[in-house]
């Protein structure tokens, strides 16, 4: 094997590692590039982008721009836009680098134990992450999963003097999304199990491990101290009331298990991983990384389903441990059923098999842009062709990706428009209708976007009780008085331009 792939499968030097990283970048670019021009693959990524950019412009999260996620994801996007500028392209480039970094660490984790398939496993992970629509978006899961993978590397395989970076990586993952607590606790108990003999010989070392893991709380303590010192404490606590009150659905554990059937590819990988783990357990020779991946899959599954909402992006963090665990089945088959001289051929066949799979996945990514039209970009292009500058724009309902195209921060404090037009969300999110009305009156937006119904044409009495009617009445009266309809290609998404902005 080393004779065939001496430079990139086994080398621990900077040249060999750099070559693997470059290959992963090229593979990821091939898979993900068709999505680079898409404005909003996922609703949430634009929210984080707008808050991150707003932070750079002096608007503070939780006070001036509000959403219910921890502060870490806004910090991530502030860094992205600070380095790469305020654009959709910056999001796509940064997510590519984050996913490639995760694939590279997979290769590092497997390089010694499952070196035959280390490169193929990283390649397979890139393919799988690009297959899922939310794997292409800049959601929280991409960023915290990468940090967790970094933490696993330093915890179980890194040099001893750098091991303290592991709980810090876990801690930064935690302030991006709180459900990483499941994984952090899982790694802690697994760490204790792996070092059980040392602990039994020296029980005091148990407290040492506890102190070591307590470093994970530092990012949360530091960020929370800053939040309160900046006078953002009330809004910060408001988000936590939502997160830990009526935010979660109650579902049974069986319903959580059955939720995997919605994502059959992931369900198959989980079954393969569990079967592989049992196979190695039966042989009484479970590699450490296989043991880690097995328990990591369990904690990631609990994290994905604990709220009771089974969204696709919640399951993304299961990808790394399931891909790692599943690769050991190929390793087992290769070493137990093929002669030595054919083992290298099997690895080559596996990697060659992944290439056409990558082509198929890339075609699926291209197809996504046709199935899900980029409404924000189409509206933006139409207005550009008419030489209309409608800024400031206001999204009353629909895709808030249009803010990014006009490089504008929303005029309202609450970012996601779906939160303040739906009655249930408005109540749950403590939406202040009067605040939104006043923001619209003060800023006099040149464009108002409203999807899902035609505010201008229909009578206000035709709307059902699911809407935040007080706000809807305001939109209805304000638009009829001050705006004219601008025809677009999307019959369910209505653009209203302020009188005088454009004459049909």
What average pLDDT does this structure show over 477-501? 83
What 8-state DSSP symbol labels residue 86? S
Cβ neighbours for 202, distance < 8 A, ≥ 6 positions apart: none
User: Residue 309 and residue 96: Cα distance in Å, rounded?
Assistant: 26
User: Residue 139 and residue 316: Cα distance in Å, rounded?
Assistant: 10
Share of the chain above pLDDT 70, in %: 93
Which of 228, 217, 132 is closest to 180 using CA atoms? 217
Please determine, for residue 504, whether its predicted confidence score (pLDDT) is greater than 80.
no
pLDDT tens digits for range 455-487: 666 666 666 777 888 888 888 889 888 888 887
What average pLDDT does this structure show over 164-175? 94
Radius of gyration of the chain (CA): 25
pLDDT tens digits for range 352-377: 888 999 999 999 888 876 777 888 88
Domain ranges of the chain: 20-370, 375-498
pLDDT tens digits for range 32-86: 999 998 888 888 899 999 999 999 999 999 989 988 899 999 999 999 999 999 9
Q: According to the model, what pLDDT value does residue 9 have?
A: 52
Q: According to the model, what pLDDT value does residue 467 have?
A: 80
Please determine, for residue 11, whether its predicted confidence score (pLDDT) is greater than 70.
no
Q: How many residues does the chain have?
A: 504
User: Residue 495 and residue 487: Cα distance in Å, rounded?
Assistant: 7
Which of 339, 300, 304, 276 is closest to 121 using CA atoms? 276
pLDDT tens digits for range 285-342: 889 999 999 999 999 999 999 888 888 999 999 999 999 999 999 888 888 877 776 7
**End-to-end CA gap in the chain:** 69
CB-CB neighbours of 306 under 10 Å: 16
Contact 329, 275 (CB under 8 A): yes
User: Residue 172 and residue 219: Cα distance in Å, rounded?
Assistant: 6
pLDDT band for 431, please (50, 70, 90 cuts): confident
Which of 120-129, 185-194, 377-386 is the most confident on average? 120-129
Please determine, for residue 204, whether its predicted confidence score (pLDDT) is greater than 60.
yes
CB-CB neighbours of 207 under 10 Å: 10
């Amino acid at each position: 094997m080393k004779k065939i792939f001496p430079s990139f499968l086994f080398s621990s030097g900077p040249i060999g590692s750099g070559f693997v990283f470059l290959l992963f970048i090229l593979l990821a670019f091939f898979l993900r590039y068709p999505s680079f021009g898409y404005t909003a693959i996922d609703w949430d990524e634009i929210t984080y982008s707008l808050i991150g950019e707003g932070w750079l412009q002096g608007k503070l999260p939780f006070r001036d721009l509000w959403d219910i996620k921890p502060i870490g994801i806004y910090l991530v996007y502030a860094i992205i836009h600070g380095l790469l500028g305020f654009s959709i392209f910056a999001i796509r480039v940064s997510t590519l680098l984050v996913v490639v970094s995760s694939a590279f660490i997979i290769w590092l984790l497997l390089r010694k134990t499952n070196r035959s398939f280390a490169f193929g496993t990283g390649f397979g992970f890139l393919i799988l992450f690009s297959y899922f629509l939310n794997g292409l978006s800049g959601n929280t899961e991409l960023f915290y999963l990468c940090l967790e993978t970094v933490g696993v590397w330093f915890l179980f395989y890194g040099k001893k003097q750098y091991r303290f970076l592991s709980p810090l990586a876990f801690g930064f993952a935690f302030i991006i999304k709180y459900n990483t607590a499941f994984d952090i606790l899982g790694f802690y108990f697994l760490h204790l199990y792996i070092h059980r003999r040392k602990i039994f010989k020296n029980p005091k070392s148990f407290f040492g491990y506890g102190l070591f893991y307590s470093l994970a709380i530092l990012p949360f303590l530091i960020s929370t101290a800053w939040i309160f010192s900046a006078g953002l404490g009330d809004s910060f606590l408001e988000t936590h009331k939502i997160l830990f009150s009526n935010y979660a659905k109650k579902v049974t554990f069986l319903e959580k298990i059955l939720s995997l059937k919605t994502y059959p590819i992931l369900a198959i990988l989980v079954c393969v991983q569990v079967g592989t783990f049992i196979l190695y357990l039966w042989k009484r020779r479970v590699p450490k990384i296989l043991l880690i991946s097995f328990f990591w899959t369990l904690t990631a599954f609990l994290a994905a389903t604990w709220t009771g909402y089974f969204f696709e992006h919640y399951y993304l963090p299961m990808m790394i441990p399931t891909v790692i665990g599943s690769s050991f089945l190929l390793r087992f088959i290769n070493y137990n059923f093929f002669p030595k001289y054919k083992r290298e051929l099997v690895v080559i066949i596996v990697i060659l098999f992944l290439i056409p799979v990558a082509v198929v996945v890339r075609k699926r990514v291209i197809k996504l842009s046709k199935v899900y039209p980029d409404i924000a970009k189409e509206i933006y292009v139409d207005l550009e062709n008419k030489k209309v500058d409608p800024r400031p724009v206001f999204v009353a309902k629909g895709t808030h990706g249009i803010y990014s195209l006009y490089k504008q921060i929303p005029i309202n404090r609450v970012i996601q428009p779906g939160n303040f037009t739906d009655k249930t969300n408005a109540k749950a999110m403590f939406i202040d209708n009067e605040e939104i009305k006043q923001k619209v009156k003060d800023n006099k937006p040149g464009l108002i976007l409203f999807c899902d119904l035609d505010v201008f044409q229909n009578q206000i009495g035709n709307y059902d009780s699911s809407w935040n009617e007080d706000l809807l009445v305001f939109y209805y009266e304000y638009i009829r008085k001050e705006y004219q309809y601008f025809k677009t290609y999307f019959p369910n998404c209505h653009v209203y331009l302020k009188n005088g902005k454009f004459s049909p």
